[in-house]
Amino acid sequence: MPKKSLKVWRSLKNENGKYLQHVKQYKQHGSVGFVCKYLFDWMKNGYYNNRFEVEARESEKDKTLMNGVIFL
């Protein structure tokens, strides 16, 4: 398995890129870092304007997010 690959559950296979973007955000910031930053931004800007949600919505149609993904 390539080192840079992402493992995700098969249930995400047919979902849009939004959820894969959240997986990448989680990996980028770490579990505690992502949760803290997500909640802080959510309290400050609300759900729709949360920077993590904005980024995820913008990537919904991005097919390149599937590169390196291995479905279990």
* E-assigned strand segments in the chain: 6-8, 69-71
Whether the CA torsion 54, 56, 60, 64 is positive or negative: it is positive
Query: How far is Cα 28 from Cα 12, in angstroms, rounded to an integer?
Result: 19
pTM, two decimal places:
0.69
> What per-residue confidence (pLDDT) applies to 39?
97
Query: How far is Cα 72 from Cα 41, in angstroms, rounded to an integer?
Result: 31
Whether the predicted pLDDT of 12 surpasses 70:
no
In the chain, where are the structural domains located?
6-71
| Predicted confidence (pLDDT) per residue in 14-62, tens digit | 456 788 888 889 999 999 999 999 999 999 999 999 999 999 988 877 7
> What per-residue confidence (pLDDT) applies to 63?
73
Whether the predicted pLDDT of 1 surpasses 50:
no
**Per-residue pLDDT averaged across 64-71, rounded?**
73
* DSSP bridge partners of 7: 70
